[in-house]
Amino acid sequence: MSRRSSSSLLRVAVFAALLAAPLAAPLAALLAAPLAAQAPVPPALVPVLQQLERDNAWTVEQQVSICEVPAPPFKEQARAAEFKRRLEALGFAGARVDAVGNVIAERPGAVARPVTILSAHLDTVFPEGTDVTVRKVGGELHGPGIGDDCRGLAALLAVARVFEQHKVRTAGPIVFVGTVGEEGPGNLRGVRHLVTKEYAGRVDHFISVDGAGIGITSRAVGSHRYTVRFKGPGGHSYGAFGMPNPIHAAGRAIAKLADLKVPASPRTTFNVGVVGGGTSVNSIAMEGSFELDMRSESAEALQALDQQARAAIEAALGEERARWPESRKALDVVMDTIGIRPADARQADTMPIVRAALAAARAVGKPVARTSASSTDANVPLALGIPAITVGGGGTGSGAHGSEERYEDGPDGHKGPQFVALLVAQLAGLRR
């Protein structure tokens, strides 16, 4: 709490006032029963949840068919157009694509605030040309992105549809958003544009439905990602021997990075995930490069790791230069930023948005024992002091970011959209 800005405290106060208002009575009732194994469902939502269970096959069909529209990084347009078309078909005539490619459909409330954003991400990690056919194998669905995040997109469509069918009324608007750029290279550009431009200063709650399960991610893992390039003139491996070697320098740097010490708590990690450079076995390369990913729940720990990594890379440069004191050939290093995601902005489990999510999970009979930390679209609003969480869309998933990604709806798949529907209705202020 100590690191939260005064404006976020004000926002918390506003939310607390909303909780106290009569229109939010069902949420108050939910929050008043934290020890109950199964929190009560507001009566107005009982038929809504029943409908979601009956329509489960429709939800899964949406998940499969939207997933068969490719959405590589920076090329989400086709899937965005399809997602917009589906929202329009559900009654959201005003659905639109914003300047960076997010799909936005606003469902008005009785009043202008609170604004609750319910989002899922359109993009995948898979490059253009990937076979995105979804295969049914026993009770499982196999396909790139089937859980991450076609499940989230399907949950959004299911909630949008059932709220229209049952004319669910809320105090504040619910904004359904399919975001672009959630995965690595996108660097959260979609959500950043959404909360700093489209809805600047007027987001009261942000929910991202990302992947399967009914987990609750309430804290942001930050990441610093770089491409590190050692560069020199290069030359013949025999004839030009005796000059600094960019690949050897990269090797020295990687060896130093591999030995860095990081705290186990707050969890802090590093990884060299890609190496590159060189043209042939008998050439001193002109470049030796690698891609480095560093993450932490703590901004301070991440900054400390960043400094250690930079020092290690500088030391490797110095050692490779010093290895060939006679040489006049240059060796340099440059670090290009792939992405910086904000860490920290710790959100305690006692915050209303987290308590509402915990209560919603209990209400569908899927209590969540422990909230988690991750790197998701919620990082950006969290860093701005906006209450934000990432939740799962139900079912079970495995193998995210791999070509063998799997999703199993099982007997409880419908509980994901039910959980999301309860949560968003409570945050938006359910009216009967």
Interaction mask 103-142, Zn ion, x per CB under 5 A = ----------------------------------------
Residues from 139 through 198 that contact Zn ion (CB under 5 A): 148-149
Minimum CB separation from Zn ion for residue 191, in Å? 12
Q: Is 320 a residue that touches Zn ion (CB under 5 A)?
A: no
297 in contact with Zn ion (CB under 5 A): no
Which CB, 413 or 429, lies closer to Zn ion?
Answer: 413
Nearer to Zn ion, 116 or 124 (CB): 124
Q: Which residue stretch of 18-26, 127-135, 207-215, 309-317 sits at the interface with Zn ion (rule: CB under 5 A)?
A: 207-215
Q: How far is the CB of 211 from Zn ion (least distance, A)?
A: 5
Q: Determine the straight-line distance between the first and last CA of the chain, rounded to whole angstroms.
A: 34
Stretch that binds Zn ion, among 21-29, 204-212, 404-412, 422-430 (CB under 5 A): 204-212
Q: Which is nearer to Zn ion, 55 or 149 (CB)?
A: 149
Q: Minimal distance in Å, beta carbon 377 to Zn ion?
A: 8
CB of 400 to Zn ion, least distance (A): 7
Q: Which one, 209 or 354, has the nearer CB to Zn ion?
A: 209
* Residue 210 engages Zn ion in binding (rule: CB under 5 A): yes
Residue whose CB is less far from Zn ion, 122 or 250: 122
Q: Which among 124-132, 203-211, 250-258, 295-303 is the span making contact with Zn ion, rule CB under 5 A?
A: 203-211
Give how many residues touch Zn ion by CB under 5 A. 3
CB nearer to Zn ion: pick between 148 and 344? 148
Residue nearer to Zn ion on the CB measure, 116 or 179 = 179
Residue closer to Zn ion (CB basis): 71 or 316: 71
- What would the x/- binding string for Zn ion be over residues 46 to 85, using CB under 5 A? ----------------------------------------
CB of 405 to Zn ion, least distance (A): 11
Minimum distance, C-beta of residue 401 to Zn ion, in the bound complex (Å)? 9
Residue type, 236: H
| Residues within window 251-280 making contact with Zn ion, judged by CB under 5 A | none
Are 76 and 101 within 8 A, CB to CB? yes
SS (H, E, C) the chain: CCCCCHHHHHHHHHHHHHHHCHHHHHHHHHHCCCCCCCCCCCHHHHHHHHHHHHCHHHHHHHHHHHHCCCCCCCCCHHHHHHHHHHHHHCCCCCCEECCCCCEEEEECCCCCCCCEEEEEECCCCCCCCCCCCCEEECCEEECCCCCCCHHHHHHHHHHHHHHHHCCCEECCCEEEEEECCCCHHHCCHHHHHHHHHHCCCCCCEEEEECCCECCEEEEECEEEEEEEEEECCCEECCCCCCCCCHHHHHHHHHHHHHCCCCCCCCCEEEEEEEEEECCCCCEECCEEEEEEEEEECCHHHHHHHHHHHHHHHHHHHHHHHHHCCCCCCCCEEEEEEEEEECCECCCCCCCHHHHHHHHHHHHCCCCCCCCEEECCCCHHHHHCCCCEEEECCECEEECCCCCCCEEECCCCCCHHHHHHHHHHHHHHCEEC
Report the residue number, 149 or 344, with the smaller CB distance to Zn ion: 149
Q: Binding residues for Zn ion, per CB under 5 A?
A: 148-149, 210
